[in-house]
Amino acid sequence: MIGLKGTLNVIDNSGALLVECVNVLKNKVNNGWGSVGDEIVCVVKRARPVPASAQLSAAALKVRRGDVRRAVIVRTKKPVRRPDGRWVRFDDNAAILLNNKREMLGTRIGGVVSADLRMKGWGKIVSLAPKVI
């Protein structure tokens, strides 16, 4: 249940550490709340310090503080129901940054990811994740 002002950890290597939700897309369907597999618009609140010495980072783009980006929610503290009736809940809220075309900004994912992503159509993220639960 991520909504306005909800903070999420970023678990890819795009450079951001903490993002704050500004808007949940497909708002009317979800009653204003975002859950696993939903796209949100977010502001980067905290980012890893960019090395001032030019663009050495060939692998991953570096986002800076105050950037407005899109992201997909991959873990929520609020339990999510699985089709077999199970409820799965994580210890924190986490997201992965995207660009406007629903593509990942980072190249690697560090951490667990919810398996509900696959059902919502984020197969690429699921395949990159080290562990899917």
Tokens of 35: 């859950």
**What are the distances in angstroms from CA 90 to CA 64, 114, 115?**
27, 9, 12
Q: Is residue 119 within the footprint of another protein (CB under 8 A)?
A: no
For another protein, the binding residue among 55, 85, 100, 101 (CB under 8 A) is 85
Query: Residue 2 or 105: which CB sits closer to another protein?
Result: 2
**What are the distances in angstroms from CA 110 to CA 3, 74, 82, 104?**
24, 12, 23, 14
**Taking Cα atoms as reference points, which of 40, 36, 43 lies closest to residue 26?**
40
Backbone angles phi, psi at 27, to 5 degrees: -60, -45
Query: Residue 91 or 103: which CB sits closer to another protein?
Result: 91
Binding region for another protein (CB under 8 A) out of 17-25, 36-44, 58-66, 84-92 = 84-92
Binding region for another protein (CB under 8 A) out of 10-18, 20-28, 61-69, 88-96 = 88-96
Q: How many residues bind another protein (CB under 8 A)?
A: 15
Q: How far apart are CA 73 and CA 2, in angstroms?
A: 8
Q: Is residue 17 within the footprint of another protein (CB under 8 A)?
A: no
Q: How far is the CB of 126 from another protein (least distance, A)?
A: 15
Instruction: Name the residues that contact another protein, by CB under 8 A.
Output: 75, 79, 84-92, 111-112, 131, 133
